[in-house]
Amino acid sequence: MIIKFESVEYTLGNNHFYYDFEINSSLTGIFGASGAGKTTLFNLLSGVDLPVKGKIKLDNEILVDIDQNHVTQGKNRNIGYVFQENHLFPHLSVKKNLLYSKPYIKNKIKYISFEDVVSLLDINPLLNKKPRQLSGGERQRVAIGRALLSQPRLLLLDEPFSNVDCSKRKQIISYLLRINNHFQIPMVIISHHLEDILKLTRKIVIIENGKSTASGDVFNIIKSGDKPELIKPKKYQNTFTVAFNNYNKIENSYKVLFNKNTEIKISNHSKLLNKTIETGTKIQLSLRPIDIALSIDKHEGTSIQNQLKGTVKQIINNIEGVFCVVDCGFELFVEISQGIINNLYLHEGQEIYCQIKASDFDLVHVFIDNERKEKLNDLNLKRHEALEIAVNH
Amino acid sequence: MLSSEEISVILLTLKVALTSTILTLPLAIWLGWILARKNFIGKFLVEGLVNIPLVAPPVVTGYLLLILLGKNGIIGNWLYETMGIKLAFNFAALIIASVVVSLPLAVRSTKSAFELVDPNYEKASSSLGASKTGTFFRVYLPLAFPGILSGAVLAFARSLGEFGATISFAGNIFGKTQTIALNVYSNMQIPGKEMQVTRLVIISLIISLIAIIASEYLNKKKKYFIR
């Protein structure tokens, strides 16, 4: 989905906001410090607030064009909004919260079913509880489910990780990837933690002091010379979607394929993997730049299980550290030091081995959706019908 | 045991309290809602007018009602002349006096109940496709319900004990406008009626106590409910 803000201006008290960007992704991250204007961007996109100038477009549809005096009302934009504080209705049970939008979706094609949402987000045991009886993570899941059941064409999530602890963050990330994959619904996620966003997507919009200062693939932003100060290369996460290959019983490790030629071993810390997983199942991994070591030669007799041959593509040396981009058939962002450059005589175009421990890969999500694969085609069909109807209207 | 006269007075009092509460409630909900959630020119004036009966001597309130709605009053005269409607010194007068004096209490309670509801629920409701009216009935009203109920109990209790405005505007006519408070007042001045006075005072106290306890309970529940 293409989201386009054209010279959009908004004023709230003494604060002035300006957004100008275009991004095309099924998962987009909005990154910025607290109070930078991320939620304001959501409010403008969802129709909670109206800009004073500019144009907002979603794919080919103009939502707001102040010059042409055109405004699509928020409730007609068909955008789901998960608020930072959830705002689950306290007097209603989880089930009634989930079904809140039911009277208002009579004219919409329902491509997201109650049963699917309850099953995907593991809400079933919570259905009869009241929101005050839920933990932060559970509330977040219910809020996401409630927004999904309003059958939106786009889902906005404002700081979905803010009210949950670290372990639950991983869980929420996994749920978001599951939803995005299963319903094929575009999502925009606000966070002030770059690491969290990067586990979901590399496509981001950066907001600083009420302005959008950069947008696009964060890797390209980092590689470019004029990256915003807010983007710290140390916080970058190499994220990959790989395919499960096999389980090695003797080594108790899992092998995954990056591409046809590259197989790597990962260990399973998060218990997301199991031995019965099907070959070819998609897995999302992340890897910190600091967890990759470089060597000139391939080592024998080492405990490091992955040695990937690649070529140094770029060396980035700035105030925040020394980094290099290695092309192994896919690009890896590696944190090194000036000493290493000197010792290894590192230069662009040099052949090198990336040494990665199997345990250093962070398993973000396993896309186990086999049982729902048949449904998916039907779902996509319904979704396309829904979109066609929305466009025709 | 209660005499037929006492039973008749108690029944009339309860009838007045109940009717006036039923009539006060929608008005209190509407006023509480707009005072809590809307900004408009003259808001302070509306709030002041609603609350006047709370601070003004009830007899003054009754007198003002008489001036406005009495047979020779500004509005009352017109109503009588054009439609033959009499609003003073009858059951309607009892109800009007009761509504006017109990309205501020009910409005204060409903207003605070609506103020306690997080306005962000409105955003959430709207993002799920609800209109403003839908949000009011599905979110605000249920969340403010304990506060509204508490306001209703207070209004009921206030009606039960109403004296000043009633005697000025509705009079003290046995079988027609004489409530418990007026009956107690009348019998206090008649020697030998002490027992009847005592019985009605006790009954009046019991009803009031139940109403206050119910109101307090609902107020506590209101805070718990909206968490």
Tens digits of residue pLDDT in A156-185: 999 998 877 777 888 889 889 988 988 889
Q: Using an 8 Å CB-CB cutoff, list chain A residues near B142.
A: 91
**Cβ-defined contact of B227 to A147 (cutoff 8 Å):** no
User: Which of A53-67, A223-237, A367-381, B85-99 is predicted least confidently?
Assistant: A367-381
CA distances from A194 to A204, A210, A282 (A): 10, 18, 23
**Cβ-defined contact of B127 to A147 (cutoff 8 Å):** yes
What pLDDT was estimated at residue B125?
Answer: 93
- Band (B217; pLDDT cuts 50, 70, 90): confident
Task: Please give the order of strands across the beta sheet that includes A2-12.
Answer: A70-71, A61-65, A53-58, A2-12, A15-24, A211-217, A203-208, A27-32, A187-191, A154-158, A79-82
Number of domains making up chain B: 1
The whole-angstrom distance between A12's CA and the closest CA on chain B is 17
Mean pLDDT of A333-358: 91
CATH of the domain at B172: 1.10.3720.10
pTM of the model: 0.81
Report yes or no: B123 at the A interface, CB cutoff 8 Å. Answer: yes
Q: Residues A61-99, buried b or exposed e (16+ Cβ, 10 A)?
A: eebbbbeeeebbebbebbbbbbbbebbbbbbbbbbbbbe
Q: Using an 8 Å CB-CB cutoff, list chain B residues near A48.
A: 123, 126-127
Size of interface A-B (CB pairs under 8 A): 59
CATH of the domain at A11: 3.40.50.300
| Among the partner residues A74, A105, A147, nearest to B126 by beta-carbon distance | A74
Residue keyed to tokens 């998916």: A376
Q: A124 and A69 in one domain?
A: yes
Tens digits of residue pLDDT in A181-199: 888 899 999 998 888 899 8
Q: A248 and A179 in one domain?
A: no
The whole-angstrom distance between B123's CA and the closest CA on chain A is 7
**Cβ-defined contact of B143 to A100 (cutoff 8 Å):** no
Strand partners, A180: none
- Band (A272; pLDDT cuts 50, 70, 90): low
Question: Which chain B residue shows the shortest CA-CA distance from A80?
Answer: B127
Q: A205 and A137 in one domain?
A: yes
Mean pLDDT of B63-81: 90
Q: Of B207, B117, B107, which is closest to residue B148 (Cα–Cα)?
A: B107
The whole-angstrom distance between A216's CA and the closest CA on chain B is 27
Mean pLDDT of B15-36: 95
Mean pLDDT of A199-227: 89
- Band (A384; pLDDT cuts 50, 70, 90): low
**Cβ-defined contact of A87 to B121 (cutoff 8 Å):** yes
B181 and B126 Cβ atoms separated by less than 8 Å:
no
Tens digits of residue pLDDT in B83-121: 988 888 899 999 999 999 999 999 999 999 999 999 999
Phi and psi (nearest 5°) for A30?
-110, 115
Tell me which amino acid residue B48 is: G
Q: A293 and A172 in one domain?
A: no
Residue where a domain terminates, one of A199, A231, A263:
A231
| Among the partner residues B129, B225, B227, nearest to A150 by beta-carbon distance | B129
Q: A316 and A211 in one domain?
A: no
Quote the tokens at residue A113. 């079913």
What pLDDT was estimated at residue A371?
Answer: 44
Q: A309 and A211 in one domain?
A: no
Q: A331 and A195 in one domain?
A: no
Domain annotation covers residue A195: yes
pLDDT reading at A269 higher than 70: no
In sequence order, what are the residues at sequence separation of 6 or more whose Cβ sits closer than 8 angstroms to the Cβ of residue A242? Answer: A256, A257, A258, A264, A282, A283, A284, A285
CA distances from A340 to A224, A265, A344, A345, A352 (A): 22, 26, 6, 8, 12
Mean pLDDT, chain B, rounded, equals: 90
Domain annotation covers residue A387: no
CATH of the domain at A288: 2.40.50.100
Quote the tokens at residue A284. 């999302």
Q: Using an 8 Å CB-CB cutoff, list chain A residues near B125.
A: 89, 100
What pLDDT was estimated at residue A370?
Answer: 47
Domain annotation covers residue A384: no
Number of domains making up chain A: 2
Mean pLDDT of A218-232: 82
Domain annotation covers residue A96: yes
Residue B145's domain comprises: 4-225
Question: Which chain A residue shows the shortest CA-CA distance from B135?
Answer: A100
Tens digits of residue pLDDT in A125-140: 999 999 999 988 899 9
ipTM topping 0.90: no
User: Which of A173-177, A198-202, A307-311, A369-373 is predicted least confidently?
Assistant: A369-373
Residue A284's domain comprises: 238-366
CA distances from A26 to A6, A146, A180, A183 (A): 20, 20, 8, 11
Q: A201 and A161 in one domain?
A: yes
Q: Using an 8 Å CB-CB cutoff, list chain B residues near A146.
A: 128
Q: A286 and A188 in one domain?
A: no
CA distances from B97 to A10, A57, B40, B61, B190 (A): 51, 59, 28, 8, 26
List residues in chain A touching B: CB distance below 8 A: 46, 48, 74-75, 79-81, 83, 85, 87-91, 100-101, 103-105, 132, 146-147, 150
Strand partners, A23: A3
The whole-angstrom distance between B27's CA and the closest CA on chain A is 24
What pLDDT was estimated at residue B225?
Answer: 60
What's the start-to-end Cα distance of chain A, in Å? Answer: 19
Tens digits of residue pLDDT in A324-343: 999 998 899 999 988 888 88
Q: Using an 8 Å CB-CB cutoff, list chain B residues near A147.
A: 127-128
